[in-house]
Amino acid sequence: MNVISDKLHVENNKWIGTRTIRPDGADKVTGRACYAADNVMPGMIWGKVLRSPHAHARIRSIDTSKAEALPGVKAVVTARDIVDFPLDKSVMLGIQDMRWMCRNVMAREKALFHGHPVAAVAAINEEVAAEACRLIEVDYEVLPHVIEIEDAIRPDAPILHDFLTFEDKPSNIAGRMEAKLGDVEAGFAQADVIVERTFRTRPVHQGYIEPQACTVSYAADGRATIWSSSQGQFMVRAMTSLLTGVPQSNIKAIPAEIGGGFGAKTIIYLEPVALLLSKKSGRPVKMVMTRDEVMRATGPTSGSLSTVRIGARRDGTIVAAQGTFYLQAGCLPGSPLRGPVGCSFAPYEIPNVLSVGYDVVSNRSKVAAYRAPGAPLGAYATESVLDELAGKLGIDPLELRLKNSAKPGSKAAYGATFGKVTFEETIEAIRTHEHYRAPLDKTPRPGVKRGRGVASGFWYNAGGESSAQVNITEDGNVLVTTGHPDVGGSRASIANVTAELLGIEHGRVSVQIGDTSSIGFSNLTGGSRVTFASAMVVTQSTEKVITQLRERAARIWKIDPEAVTWENGEARPAGPNAGQFPPLTLTELAAKANEMGGPIGAGVQLNTTGADPGFATHVVDVEVDVDLGIIRVLRYTAAQDVGRALHPSYVEGQIQGGVVQGIGWALSEEYLYDRQGRLDNASFLDYRMPVCSDVPMIEPVMLEIPNPKHPQGVRGVGEAPIVPPLAAIANAVHDALGIRFTSLPMSPPKVVEALEGA
């Protein structure tokens, strides 16, 4: 059971909800923060990966002898050095199947995409390592490849894996997921209006600015230390252990400052390879990806082919909804089917739902998680269809959503029965917002049209395992250790919580991220869980510390601990009956700690629960240049239930950052392949993420409706913001042009083509 603290509804907090300067801020603005590529070790050498030049090829043999003979080369590894996970038995680590992970880290039987690692070298410098890679001779049997979903699911498609079958035939469909409620066909029979459309999205990359990097030192005693950029040092430890056979107890994974991940750094590429190179060479090995490698060979999110059908009565009551979502997994199974299958219809109370997802492999890099994995592409389809439905019914699109919104007790097709639901509040927040009410001049200039669109979104949010340790230093300050890499400001939020609970100045609390040997197991930074879960364990740890502090004061005063209260950073006698003693401050108690029972500190390890889902509703105005096909986002307002904003700036930051990623997804970002199955735009120069002038000042509307299952009322906020933008923008473009874009991105060429066809 999680403790529900009485702090929940306390107003006038001193630190919670304030914009304190983040603990890691000074290091970041001065360039002192240490990221994985900044780490340097004595004796360190450089690792480099040789990658497949083919999109699909059987590896007949690999000859590394010439590379090994090159002066300066210290080690070479191939798939033979990586632990094999046979294809007939699944071994899971979280949601990752090690059969796929071992083949993703190093191609085994086949190279499955252009850029797939086939070998790696460690050498005294990067030039020698690169030269050695050129000397490795790989005998490939080139096979036909397949890139797009439509091609991969055709009966005559080249098959990537002969062990995958679907409906008893060899297939590129690696799996199916279904969520069901009621009887859809019976539901559609009751509908007066039905809208059905098919949508396409392309894979987009998470686009973190920091390429993957690590340094691994494997010592003669069999112990390994890993410094790397990841969304979970415990994941790094476990996955590296599984892939190298080194026991977890012999691996210390140290989380470097992480330069962005957005989900992609919940799996690893380099660490096991670097460990094996270090083991063979006896030297610490550093590996840093180039941007080209990041784009080509780390997971983007799935592209998709979705068909959504929604039926409603004339009064706007939705009676049935059906979704079929084909997702690109990349070269090995594992699309985020749960995103579109579960989230697409979840905000609505619909009696009859059938939502089916298919996991489709093709010769692309294996996908990785990206912010609300899979949910945005599902919402793009659903929320576009709802917009069309609203038009057909003559109902305001927000009204239609309100009318059908999930309520407490509503059952979602994915299985949940909702407790508190805060969807309506987000719709109301937009409906009453000045932005939504402001008139929009739809033809401001010749050749230019404007439109406004809305869309909503849902994300599950997550709890899970977290650990924290709160220690009082001898000089009376506070050191908090948690086990989650901080991607978006969680240290700032935790500092606010700890200072608040202890009633001390914010500056006296330091928050650090522990390595795997100094803090208990903590699951990934992902699923919008970190602030939720770590605030919970830190709260419980701090409450234990406060109990200890009260006991110490009681001992000094020789009274009962129950007769001591903790207020404003001091122990005080609880009322006149407890006795007359001057208060004891944290500093005074810390100074006396050792004579009065030893060090003060407490840790909590917990599998946290109670992370209720997140809802968001967005409104956007766009402008379309009808001659040139250019779409600009003029204004964007995003309302979301954030539970409690422990540090408002970082909640706003999550919303603003997520929306801007959504704008890129909708308008300019896409993976483009050439005929040979090679990624054509594997650089920031050619993969178009928004720069500042591409986006307006995103306006977040934070609705603070406390989550009753969390001590401070926290609700996950990081992922929901990227769910609505794709559809919201497409709906706004429809409002401007009367053209519904069913394929993303809405790049100028596509817009011009659509306008010519219109």
Partner 1 sequence: MTDRITLVLNGSPVALPPDTSPTTTLLDWLRGPAGLCGTKEGCAEGDCGACTVVLEGPDGGRAPVNACLVLLGQVHGCAVRTVEGLRGPDGAPHPVQRALAEADATQCGFCTPGIAMAAWAHAREGGSVHEALAGNLCRCTGYRPIIEAFAGLEDDGAAPPSLPPVGGATFAAGGQVFHRPASLAELLALRAAHPEALLLAGGTDLGLLVSEGRQRPPAVIHLATVPELGAIAADAGGITLGAAVPYARLLPLLDGSLAPLAGLLARLGSRQIRALGTVGGNLGTASPIGDMLPPLLVLGATLRIASVRGERESGVEDVLLGYRKTTLAPDEVIVSIRLPRPPDGAVLACEKLSRRHDQDISAVGGAFLLRVAGGRVAEARLAFGGLGPMAARARHAEAMLTGALLAPACFADAAEELAQDVAPLSDWRGSAAYRLAAAQGLLRRLYWRVAKPGLPAEVHAL
Contacts with ligand FES, residue ranges (CB under 6 A): 209, 260
Binder of partner 1 out of 17, 117, 207, 713 (CB under 8 A): 207
Helix (H) or strand (E) holding 213: strand 213-218
Find which of ligand FES, partner 1, none residue 681 binds, CB within 5 to 8 Å per kind.
partner 1
Find which of ligand FES, partner 1, none residue 481 binds, CB within 5 to 8 Å per kind.
none
Phi-psi label, residue 579: left if phi above 0, alpha if psi -120 to 50, beta otherwise: left
Binder of partner 1 out of 1, 92, 220, 697 (CB under 8 A): 697
CA-CA-CA-CA torsion sign (262, 266, 269, 270): positive
If one asks whether residue 489 binds partner 1 (CB under 8 A), the answer comes out as yes
Q: Which residue is nearest to ligand FES (CB)?
A: 209
DSSP per-residue string spanning 335-359: --THHHHHHTTTTB--SEEEEEEEE
Per CB under 8 A, which region of 216-224, 254-262, 316-324, 531-539 contacts partner 1?
254-262
Q: Smallest distance from the beta carbon of 209 to ligand FES, in angstroms?
A: 4
Binder of partner 1 out of 1, 31, 156, 757 (CB under 8 A): 31
Q: Smallest distance from the beta carbon of 48 to ligand FES, in angstroms?
A: 19
Cβ(471)–Cβ(599) under 8 Å?
yes
Measured in Å, how far apart are the chain's first and last C-alpha atoms? 59
Find which of ligand FES, partner 1, none residue 234 binds, CB within 5 to 8 Å per kind.
none
If one asks whether residue 8 binds partner 1 (CB under 8 A), the answer comes out as no
Mode of pairing for the β-strands spanning 57-63 and 73-78: unpaired
3-state secondary structure of 173: strand
Binder of partner 1 out of 9, 134, 154, 445 (CB under 8 A): 445
Closer of 423 and 671 to partner 1 (Cβ): 671
Cβ(146)–Cβ(153) under 8 Å?
no
If one asks whether residue 634 binds partner 1 (CB under 8 A), the answer comes out as yes
If one asks whether residue 739 binds partner 1 (CB under 8 A), the answer comes out as no
Closer of 272 and 489 to ligand FES (Cβ): 489
Q: Over the range 496-529, which residues count as b (16 or more CB within 10 Å of their CB) and which as e? A: bbbbbbbebebebbbbbbbbbeebbebbbbbbbb
Closer of 323 and 451 to partner 1 (Cβ): 451
Find which of partner 1, ligand FES, none residue 166 binds, CB within 5 to 8 Å per kind.
none
- Ramachandran angles phi, psi of 608, nearest 5°: -75, 145
Per CB under 8 A, which region of 116-124, 174-182, 343-351, 682-690 contacts partner 1?
682-690
Closer of 225 and 656 to ligand FES (Cβ): 656
Q: Smallest distance from the beta carbon of 260 to partner 1, in angstroms?
A: 4
Closer of 211 and 613 to ligand FES (Cβ): 211
Q: Smallest distance from the beta carbon of 246 to partner 1, in angstroms?
A: 28
If one asks whether residue 148 binds partner 1 (CB under 8 A), the answer comes out as no
Q: Which among 714, 716, 570, 607 is positioned nearest to 654, based on CA atoms?
A: 716
Binder of partner 1 out of 129, 157, 172, 210 (CB under 8 A): 210
If one asks whether residue 259 binds partner 1 (CB under 8 A), the answer comes out as yes
Binder of partner 1 out of 243, 689, 720, 729 (CB under 8 A): 689
CA angle 310, 622, 703 (to 5 degrees): 70
Closer of 14 and 632 to partner 1 (Cβ): 632
Residue 238, C-beta contacts closer than 8 angstroms, at least 6 positions apart: 93, 248
Cβ(59)–Cβ(115) under 8 Å?
no
If one asks whether residue 730 binds partner 1 (CB under 8 A), the answer comes out as no
Residue 418 corresponds to which tokens in the numbers above? 């909702």
Closer of 446 and 575 to partner 1 (Cβ): 446
3-state secondary structure of 610: coil
User: What is the 8-class DSSP label of residue 131?
Assistant: H
Neighbouring C-beta atoms of residue 97, cutoff 10 Å: 16
Rounded to whole angstroms, how far apart are CA atoms 688 and 663? 11
# chain residues binding partner 1, by CB under 8 A: 85
If one asks whether residue 38 binds partner 1 (CB under 8 A), the answer comes out as yes
Taking each helix axis as running N to C, give the angle between helix 648-667 and helix 725-737, from 0 to 180 degrees, rounded to the nearest 10: 50
3-state secondary structure of 151: helix
Rounded to whole angstroms, how far apart are CA atoms 334 and 757? 37
If one asks whether residue 504 binds partner 1 (CB under 8 A), the answer comes out as no
If one asks whether residue 680 binds partner 1 (CB under 8 A), the answer comes out as yes
Q: Smallest distance from the beta carbon of 488 to ligand FES, in angstroms?
A: 9
Q: Smallest distance from the beta carbon of 678 to ligand FES, in angstroms?
A: 22
Per CB under 8 A, which region of 78-86, 284-292, 415-423, 433-441 contacts partner 1?
284-292
If one asks whether residue 262 binds partner 1 (CB under 8 A), the answer comes out as yes
